[in-house]
Structure 1
Amino acid sequence: MWVYRSMVRRAKNKDSCEDENSGNESQRTQESGAGSCYLDDDLAHLTKLRSGPHEHLSRAIGGRKLKLPVSPVTMLAARESNFSGRGRFSTSDSCHMLSRFLPTHGPTKLDEIRSRTYVSQFSADGSLFVAGFQRSQIRVYNVEKDWKVQKDIMAKSLRWTITDTCLSPDQRFLVYSSMSPLVHIVNIQSATTESLANITEIHDGLNFSVDDNDDEDEISIFSVKFSTDGRELVAASGDGSIYVYDLGANKLNIRITAHLSDVNTVCFADESGNLIYSGSDDKLCKVWDRRCLVSRGQAAGVLTGHLEGITYIDSRGDGRYFISNGKDQTTKLWDIRKMTSNASPQHESDWDYRWMEYPQKARKLKHANDLSLATYKGHSVLCTLIRCYFSPIYSTAQKYIYTGSSDCSVYIYDLVSGARVAMLDYHDAPVRDCSWHPIYPMLVSSSWDGVIARWDFPGDGLQPLPKPKRNHRRIIY
């Protein structure tokens, strides 16, 4: 662990990740049942550039051909010999080292509540961690103070469960949603630890109904996200719409009639806030450009490839690439430059992911017009809206993707080769959400068994917990 922390301290002073150095990342050997793709795209080259050692490293090992990945001892010795001429590691050198410190050891149980955990995320700087539970409870943990509960929130106007939470960019406020048109906002930096809605603190309600005639049973907010500047919220609804709320004006700004079915996930594509990605039970991913919504009134583009509904989308943050989890038991990687102007409605099946197993024959099928760059298989997306993510840019250069799974595990895949590089198996119920620390090799998984579990890089002296006895009954959403 001392090597990792030393690397982190040095990497904080590095240049941008755009360093023009070369180096080829070795293709990992695929495990049984892992993904079967190999990424042939500009993104593969960019990922290798950002996570590969400097081209001059071969001089430090006597001109021999590099055998990747390069050992930490060789990297450290080469740095001391000033192989790059800079007297330090480049950013990609650091990522080449840090990305090998996978958080696979453990887990350590952080908390356990007698309620299903639906959402969990680190803050952007990793100092806070938020977990939302079905029985109206949200906990904000201070990671830097030994995971002490900084805020214990009892939610207001809850319907069924907490469907999503999101921290503001300045980490002062948290919004939470449920199967309701009201999204509530809480000040998490106030002195009150126990935050009971409208008893110890006011939880302001943001109304996402367009007018009083809206059917509240249809407007169920499944996903809500802050814009990068913290001035807006974007939300996905069960009425097939996307909503954008202006926090400064305290009013609903835009309603987009986006899909023919539930919109399960939505997010801003990049820092500009102009592009929005959405995914729906109509099996389509769509891209929306707010700059031309008024004139066109339709999506900037559509991406087809999933055979069943989309449960989650995560943007790479560059306004070009994103990944999506689908009920067809796959994660797909997309490039919006390949999108089409429209897509024909797909046939609806009688299969229901909430209580039925996915047909074995369907696992071999492929969409006739699959526009995705790569497909990752091995995990399962059943029972609930399982979430997926890119690994952190700071420590891994986003060279991995990871996802929860209804088989009670977390899966980590190599972005380029598609190989499954790790499977974190501990929980006794579906892992709906998981989050990788933005700096350190730490991953937290949250499950319907009510357990919040932390995974670390081996070498910190932590003893792994015994695996619980599995309850093989299917849990209905």
Structure 2
Amino acid sequence: MSRIQKDIIGCRDGSDIRGSSSHGQGVNENSCGLDHEIAQLTKLRSGPNELFRRVVPGGMKLPVSTLKMLVGREANYSGRGRFSSSDGCHVLSRYLPVNGPSLVDCVESRVYVSQFSADGSLFVGGFQENLVRIYNVDKGWKVQKDILAKSLRWTITDTSLSPDQNFLVYSSMCPIVHIVNVRSAATESIANITEIHEGLDFSGTDDVDNEFAIFSVKFSTDGRELVAASGDDAIYIYDLVENRRILRIPAHKSDVNTVCFADETGHLIYSGSDDGLCKVWDRRCLVNKGKAAGVLMGHLEGITFIDSRGDGRYFISNGKDQTTKLWDIRKMSSNAKRFQGRKSHGWDYRWMAYPASSRNSKHPNDLSLSTYKGHQVLQTLIRCYFSPSYSTGQKYIYTGSSDCRVYIYDLVSGELVARLENHLDSVRDCSWHPFYPTIVSSSWDGVIARWEFPRDSKPPSKWNAINRPPIF
């Protein structure tokens, strides 16, 4: 039995994996589970119809197995003659993508960004060298296009596919974001040689520093706008129809590492910064520049990433205090001050371990709903996400980690339900397929790996990571 299989079995059979040691074992601080509206919403979206519990005597007190649900569906216990979306989520979410990994790609460069498209047909990998690679998932992960980036500084910091999947934008440590036609016939897109990579300039005459970095960039749901987080403490909005920057918000007191739209309307924006604060911005009432609709405090160190649940109410964030936190924007405050963390004492997450003395520290005014510990947020801006709505009802959250693993937590109970390991360096990004039980992890070891729930008796082949030298 492999090490990862032992980890998974240990998590499922109730073995004690609690704690927050450097070995990656951890659990939600709320040991009794999450007691909040989102817990009930998650149950409704990922739980079975109560009538299925009556398939066998005593079933009301027992977990509903897949077999019971299939029997109940045939007997039409729900009265619908089929599974509802929540019934389907309950079945699918039981089959976690923990088997593998199998190799997707291996290059001599750190992988910084990797994401599935909204329909799961494409996968995008962004590398520290000047490469963005697009894979066609439906055609056996064949490379569809190699994009050789223009004006790269240090690394590709982020990529984003347009909602129609026709265009891709990539950012770097500069104020220019480039946009590329993904659907063009060329399999190799060399900037301004084989194809035009149009530059979208986010700087302006009113900026204090025109040479800032862009750490995060995202399309709006309608594909008309881009939102970006920058190293000059600001948030930017770029209108692709007008082809110009339309808004600059001086949002934080330090680098803004992450930003995203809260929902499909595009009115609300979430941002996270090295000042340790998460902020909510309502574009409909930005009367005073830099005035947020509300602030959410609770992290002891800087924020590395934010992912919205998509409902304009809940989001999660990864922090350099080695935690992921769950937020409800209805708890936001109008006044919040930055917590003076370890940075003021000389700690730097890029090359120093997190001080053991700070692991159990808590913010005196923590507004978060829940805190998840176990993974490590060091060296780079490691990302976290809600699991897919279609297959899991967003029942889980998952995150990369600097200890070379992917961690999956149960959103409500906070339990660590899976640890995926085989990389040799930090897992900066990871992505769960929107419909199938597949997770792809990308690491600084240059490897993009695929984890799946087996569709047949033959397990996916593993690559030999033991003898592979790390990438520097």
Return closer, same or farther for 1:302/1:28 CA change in 2, 3 Å cut-off: farther
Task: Describe the SS at the equivalent of 1:365.
Answer: coil
Structure 2 counterpart of 1:366: 362
Query: In the aligned structure 2, how far is the partner of 1:466 from the partner of 1:250?
Result: 45
Displacement of 1:246 = 0.4
- Residue 193 (structure 2) pairs with residue 208 (structure 1): no
Indicate if the aligned counterparts of 2:109 and 2:445 stay in contact, CA closer than 8 A: yes
Q: How does 1:50-449 map to 2 (within 5 A)?
A: 50-62=45-57, 64-68=59-63, 70-211=64-205, 215-217=209-211, 219-295=212-288, 297-347=290-340, 348-349=343-344, 350-449=346-445
Query: In the aligned structure 2, how far is the partner of 1:351 from the partner of 1:471?
Result: 31
Structure 2 counterpart of 1:31: 17
Q: Deviations over 1:255-296 (max 9, x none)?
A: 000000000000000011000000000000000000010257
Displacement of 1:61 = 1.8
Residue identity matched to 2:446 = G
Query: In the aligned structure 2, how far is the partner of 1:281 from the partner of 1:275?
Result: 21
Q: Deviations over 1:89-144 (max 9, x none)?
A: 11111111000110000000011110000000000000000000000100000000
Task: Describe the SS at the equivalent of 1:364.
Answer: coil
Indicate if the aligned counterparts of 2:48 and 2:86 stay in contact, CA closer than 8 A: yes
Q: How does 1:430-469 map to 2 (within 5 A)?
A: 430-460=426-456, 461-465=458-462, 468-469=465-466
Q: Deviations over 1:220-241 (max 9, x none)?
A: 0000000000000000000000
Task: Describe the SS at the equivalent of 1:138.
Answer: strand
Return closer, same or farther for 1:277/1:431 CA change in 2, 3 Å cut-off: same
Return closer, same or farther for 1:358/1:151 CA change in 2, 3 Å cut-off: same
Query: In the aligned structure 1, how far is the partner of 2:321 from the partner of 2:401?
Result: 13
Indicate if the aligned counterparts of 1:28 and 1:417 stay in contact, CA closer than 8 A: no
Task: Describe the SS at the equivalent of 2:372.
Answer: strand
Displacement of 1:456 = 0.2
Return closer, same or farther for 1:471/1:346 CA change in 2, 3 Å cut-off: farther
Displacement of 1:439 = 0.1
Query: In the aligned structure 2, how far is the partner of 1:27 from the partner of 1:255?
Result: 51
Displacement of 1:35 = 1.2
Displacement of 1:27 = 11
Displacement of 1:471 = 9.2
Query: In the aligned structure 2, how far is the partner of 1:241 from the partner of 1:471?
Result: 40
Residue identity matched to 1:261 = S
Large movers: runs of 4+ above 6 Å: 26-29, 470-473
Residue identity matched to 2:150 = K
Task: Describe the SS at the equivalent of 2:286.
Answer: helix
Query: In the aligned structure 2, how far is the partner of 1:286 from the partner of 1:188?
Result: 33
RMSD, aligned α-carbons: 1.9
Displacement of 1:391 = 0.1
Gaps of 5+ in 2: 1-11, 19-24
Task: Describe the SS at the equivalent of 1:65.
Answer: helix
Q: Deviations over 1:35-69 (max 9, x none)?
A: 1332111000111111111111133224642411x
Structure 1 counterpart of 2:9: none
Query: In the aligned structure 2, how far is the partner of 1:215 from the partner of 1:427?
Result: 38
Residue identity matched to 2:166 = R
Structure 1 counterpart of 2:8: none
Structure 2 counterpart of 1:48: 43
Indicate if the aligned counterparts of 1:245 and 1:251 stay in contact, CA closer than 8 A: yes
Indicate if the aligned counterparts of 2:154 and 2:172 stay in contact, CA closer than 8 A: yes
Displacement of 1:344 = 1.9
Return closer, same or farther for 1:196/1:52 CA change in 2, 3 Å cut-off: same
Displacement of 1:214 = 5.0
Query: In the aligned structure 1, how far is the partner of 2:325 from the partner of 2:140?
Result: 36
Task: Describe the SS at the equivalent of 1:56.
Answer: helix
Gaps of 5+ in 1: 1-25
Query: In the aligned structure 2, how far is the partner of 1:109 from the partner of 1:128?
Result: 16
Return closer, same or farther for 1:232/1:137 CA change in 2, 3 Å cut-off: same
Return closer, same or farther for 1:129/1:362 CA change in 2, 3 Å cut-off: same
Return closer, same or farther for 1:471/1:281 CA change in 2, 3 Å cut-off: farther
Query: In the aligned structure 1, how far is the partner of 2:321 from the partner of 2:300?
Result: 6
Return closer, same or farther for 1:470/1:363 CA change in 2, 3 Å cut-off: farther
Identify which range, 412-421 or 292-301, moves more after superposition: 292-301
Indicate if the aligned counterparts of 1:29 and 1:419 stay in contact, CA closer than 8 A: no
Indicate if the aligned counterparts of 1:30 and 1:420 stay in contact, CA closer than 8 A: no
Query: In the aligned structure 2, how far is the partner of 1:297 from the partner of 1:133?
Result: 33
Displacement of 1:466 = 5.5
Indicate if the aligned counterparts of 1:323 and 1:333 stay in contact, CA closer than 8 A: yes
Aligned length: 448
Percent sequence identity is: 68
Return closer, same or farther for 1:71/1:237 CA change in 2, 3 Å cut-off: same
Structure 2 counterpart of 1:15: none
Query: In the aligned structure 2, how far is the partner of 1:472 from the partner of 1:373?
Result: 41
Indicate if the aligned counterparts of 1:27 and 1:417 stay in contact, CA closer than 8 A: no
Q: Deviations over 1:412-463 (max 9, x none)?
A: 0000010000000010000000000000000000000110100000344234
Displacement of 1:30 = 5.5
Indicate if the aligned counterparts of 1:406 and 1:431 stay in contact, CA closer than 8 A: yes
Identify which range, 417-426 or 339-348, moves more after superposition: 339-348
Query: In the aligned structure 2, how far is the partner of 1:207 from the partner of 1:323?
Result: 29
